[in-house]
Amino acid sequence: MNGAPQVHYLNVDYGIRSWLFTTDHKRIAWLYLLSVTLFFFFGGFFATLIRLELMTPQGDLVQAETYNKFFTMHGVTMVFFFLIPSIPAVLGNFLVPMMVGARDLAFPRLNLASWYIFILGGLFTLASAAAGGVDTGWTFYTPYSSIYSNSHVALTVVGVFVTGFSSILTGLNFVVTIHKMRAPGLTWFRLPLFIWAIYATSIIFILGTPVIAITLLLVGLERVFNLGFFDPARGGDPVLFQHLFWFYSHPAVYIMVLPAMGVESELVTAFARRRVFGYSFVAFSSLAIAVIGFLVWGHHMFVAGQSVHAGLIFSLLSFLVAIPSAIKVFNWTATLHRGSISYDAPMLYALGFIGLFTIGGLTGLFLASIGVDVHVHDTYFVIAHFHYIMVGGSVMAYLGGIHFWWPKMTGRTYPEPVARVAALIVFLGFNLTFFPQFVLGYLGMPRRYHAYPPEFQALNVMSSAGASILAVGYVLPLIYLIWSLRYGRVAGRNPWGARGLEWQTPSPPPTHNFDVTPRVVAEAYAYDKEPEETYEFGSPSRA
Amino acid sequence: MSNGAHITVKTYLTVFVILLGLTALTTGVAFIDLGGGLNNFAALTIATVKALLVVLYFMHARTSDRFTWVIAAAGIFWLLLLLGGTLDDAITRNQLPGELQLTP
Ligand SMILES: [Cu+2]
């Protein structure tokens, strides 16, 4: 029963065509995994250059203009081509159908098309890098981006525009799948919390992404045809751009962190061997974050010329996001309480997530209060804050999730001791990189400069040293995960003894996930029951 | 999923002709000075009617089930959020903290 099936999704067919024309959600997940990993190291390359330049106060490695391109390429790549697709398109693609007991997503060919659209957008961005790069920052603020910048704004903007459609279609696919394709007996409140999180994320994908797409299109039009949307000289409003941009880009933060929270709920329950504390609160807090996340965008514009009245309202609403976020953190903590906890590598990432996300979230409250924001806006305090959320939160959860589901994806286990060491290296390297940046920012070091006063050097050297440790922590998993594909121990269907539906099918799963359509009689966290009491595999498959 | 079957080719063509007519109307109105911001109002009203026609007929919302309506309504609601927050800034842009009030 625990052995790998004779024929599974990986060995059913070989050759490059069987991958490039696949409609199997599990294979498409691998296509995304390979592509976002490449983009991650591409974006990481620019981060390395940034940290190298900031080792010394003088701008001695590169010129200011080149440095501007470094942080822009870093931001654009990491946000649009790694963080946003990472958990939804890799883990979401692989897991959503299996977690709901379906044979595939609702629209398998649309799913493959989404990947091609993503790659097409990525090629535009890579082309702009090859042609000389962009220097506007990932935020493309007007009128600099639309009129004054001499770099490849149009090419990059088109890349992000195209990629947006990949997000929209992926979100659509998930929403329809979750609504229409749940296995018999799988009611909404028996769903894994990962599904709730992906569902909330999909809503943001569908409702938010069109706004960024049209906004960037307007920037391109203003740039190419000299229209006056954002140029004050022609009756436009530069702050209007920031409204439109952040209406998507603040919720985009939740596109990055909501799926991470979903992964977190799966990891915490599996390694504490307990039912999640307050299931419905965790589930609904995902939806609350998705909705409230759309009401707070003005907190990016407190000092950008936005009215005081709007600033007050956006400040107040921003504080509200803390409530559903805190509900989640408290509920995970309560789940750990009196759990029988094991410290495997995914759990180390999960625990790291709780701490780092909490620091990132609480410093977000500092920034939501206008008085403090006036002091620290556009400083390294902001940089540290959002890296705690996106790297300390999302990347940690992504790595935890990759480790957790690696046996399911590949049928092999990774080497546990070295994975634990890597998780600790990531945690230490991360904190050494980014904690000094809180101090730097509070002392007044502005972001986006390649040179700085000498008194900031010690903290910057700490940060650069941390970045090199972090790099080791990221390269290690790359090595041992690839190693495990060939030399890893055969995993069996449920190596963690988890209760989710995806663990009840062989590893790697057959092409259609389940040989027999499962019938669900309990929720996904029934750790007080045997898996056989949660799922029935009685009825023959409706092939 | 087979909801769209109720709409005939004739209806599509009729809607298409109406859309063309409204486009001509927008262009025509642009040449007349209605004064008092009425030009903007007219152009936006016509555009809204056109968008509604597209959603109702070409996107089959008219013959879709309730759930599709909820999704479509959510899209409109989100648009209102975007307009509301942005307008709040635009309307109060020149007011100082001592004189906060919601009038242009
Ligand atoms: Cu924000």
Q: Name the residue in chain A with its Cα closest to that of B90.
A: A307
Residue A221 CB contacts under 8 Å (≥ 6 apart), including other chains? A227, A229
Task: Please choose, from the candidates A462, A451, A346, A334, the residue with its C-alpha nearest in 3D space to the C-alpha of residue A406.
Answer: A346
Each residue of A110-157: pLDDT tens digit? 999 999 999 999 999 999 999 999 999 999 999 899 988 999 999 999
Mind telling me how many Å the CA of A206 is from chain B's nearest CA?
Answer: 9
Predicted confidence (pLDDT) at residue A6 exceeds the cutoff of 80: no
Q: Which amino acid appears at position A465 of this protein?
A: A
Each residue of A154-208: pLDDT tens digit? 999 999 999 999 999 999 999 999 999 999 999 999 999 999 999 999 999 999 9
Predicted confidence (pLDDT) at residue B4 exceeds the cutoff of 50: no
Half-sphere exposure in the Cβ direction for A54 (13 Å, CA): 32
Q: How many separate domains does chain A show?
A: 1
Question: How far is residue A200's CA from residue A167's CA, in Å, rounded to a whole number?
Answer: 13
Question: How far is residue A145's CA from residue A141's CA, in Å, rounded to a whole number?
Answer: 6
Predicted confidence (pLDDT) at residue A338 exceeds the cutoff of 90: no
pLDDT tier at B103 (50, 70, 90 boundaries)? low
Question: How far is residue A319's CA from residue A325's CA, in Å, rounded to a whole number?
Answer: 11
Q: Name the residue in chain B with its Cα closest to that of A208.
A: B78
For residue A536, the model assigns a pLDDT of 84
Task: Decide which of B64 and A381 is more confident.
Answer: A381
Task: Flag whether A249 is in a domain.
Answer: yes
pLDDT tier at B98 (50, 70, 90 boundaries)? low
Q: Which residues pair with A310 in a beta bridge?
A: none
**Burial of A176 per CB tally in 10 Å (0-12, 13-18, 19+):** middle
For residue B1, the model assigns a pLDDT of 43
Which range among A295-299, A517-521, A537-541 shows the weakest confidence by mean pLDDT? A537-541
Q: How much is the average pLDDT of B57-82?
A: 89
Judged by CB atoms closer than 8 Å, whether chains meet at A309 and B95 is answered as yes
**Burial of A538 per CB tally in 10 Å (0-12, 13-18, 19+):** exposed
Q: Name the residue in chain B with its Cα closest to that of A205.
A: B75
Predicted confidence (pLDDT) at residue B101 exceeds the cutoff of 80: no
Mind telling me how many Å the CA of A94 is from chain B's nearest CA?
Answer: 26
Residue A43 CB contacts under 8 Å (≥ 6 apart), including other chains? A73, A74, A77, A78, A81, A82
Judged by CB atoms closer than 8 Å, whether chains meet at A309 and B81 is answered as no
C-alpha pair distances (Å), A7 with each of A11, A173, A271, A509, A513: 6, 27, 30, 9, 12
CATH at A421:
1.20.210.10
Please report residues of A whose CB lies closer than 8 A to that of B96: 308
Mutation target vs B (from A179, A309, A314; most B CBs, 10 A cutoff): A309
Task: Flag whether A518 is in a domain.
Answer: yes
pLDDT tier at B68 (50, 70, 90 boundaries)? confident
Q: Report the alpha-carbon angle B24-B25-B31, nearest 5.
A: 95
Question: Is A98 within 8 Å of A505 (Cβ atoms)?
Answer: yes
Q: Which of A203, A298, A305 sits opposite B85 (nearest CB)?
A: A298
Each residue of A251-268: pLDDT tens digit? 999 999 999 999 999 999
Judged by CB atoms closer than 8 Å, whether chains meet at A310 and B88 is answered as yes
Judged by CB atoms closer than 8 Å, whether chains meet at B85 and A308 is answered as no
Structural domain including A490 reads 16-540
Phi-psi map region of A490: left, alpha, beta (phi>0 left; psi -120 to 50 alpha): beta
B45-74 residues touching A, CB cutoff 8 A: 67, 74
Task: Flag whether A10 is in a domain.
Answer: no
Residue A520 belongs to what H/E stretch? Answer: strand A519-520
And the tokens for A444? 């007044």
Task: Flag whether A156 is in a domain.
Answer: yes
**What dihedral do alpha carbons A311, A312, A313, A319 form, nearest 10°?**
100
Question: How far is residue A93's CA from residue A117's CA, in Å, rounded to a whole number?
Answer: 16
Q: Within a 10 A sphere around the Cβ of A127, how many other Cβ atoms?
A: 14
For residue B48, the model assigns a pLDDT of 93
Mind telling me how many Å the CA of B96 is from chain A's nearest CA?
Answer: 7
Is pTM beyond 0.90 here? yes
Q: How far is the CA of A33 from the centre of ligand 1 (A)?
A: 27
Mind telling me how many Å the CA of A204 is from chain B's nearest CA?
Answer: 10
Please report residues of A whose CB lies closer than 8 A to that of B97: 308
Q: Name the residue in chain A with its Cα closest to that of B67.
A: A179
Task: Flag whether A3 is in a domain.
Answer: no
Please report residues of A whose CB lies closer than 8 A to that of B82: 211, 243-244, 247
Task: Flag whether A330 is in a domain.
Answer: yes
Task: Flag whether A1 is in a domain.
Answer: no
Half-sphere exposure in the Cβ direction for B55 (13 Å, CA): 13
Average pLDDT of chain B to the nearest whole number: 86
Judged by CB atoms closer than 8 Å, whether chains meet at A294 and B81 is answered as yes
Question: How far is residue A368's CA from residue A318's CA, in Å, rounded to a whole number?
Answer: 6
For residue A427, the model assigns a pLDDT of 97
pLDDT tier at A515 (50, 70, 90 boundaries)? confident
pLDDT tier at A2 (50, 70, 90 boundaries)? very low
Q: How far is the CA of A261 from the centre of ligand 1 (A)?
A: 18
Q: Name the residue in chain B with its Cα closest to that of A310.
A: B89
Instruction: Count residue pairs from A and B with Cβ separation < 8 A.
Output: 58
Q: How much is the average pLDDT of A480-506?
A: 94
Each residue of A388-431: pLDDT tens digit? 999 999 999 999 999 999 999 999 999 999 999 999 999 999 99
Which range among A273-277, A334-338, A530-534 shows the weakest confidence by mean pLDDT? A530-534
Mind telling me how many Å the CA of A169 is from chain B's nearest CA?
Answer: 15
Q: Which of A208, A211, A307 sits opposite B89 (nearest CB)?
A: A307
Give ion ligand 1 contacts, CB < 5 A. A 250
Question: How far is residue B37's CA from residue B72's CA, in Å, rounded to a whole number?
Answer: 30
Quote the crossing angle between the two packed helices A396-410 and A93-100, to the nearest 10°.
60
Task: Flag whether A11 is in a domain.
Answer: no
Residue A132 CB contacts under 8 Å (≥ 6 apart), including other chains? A69, A151, A152
Q: Which amino acid appears at position A237 of this protein?
A: D
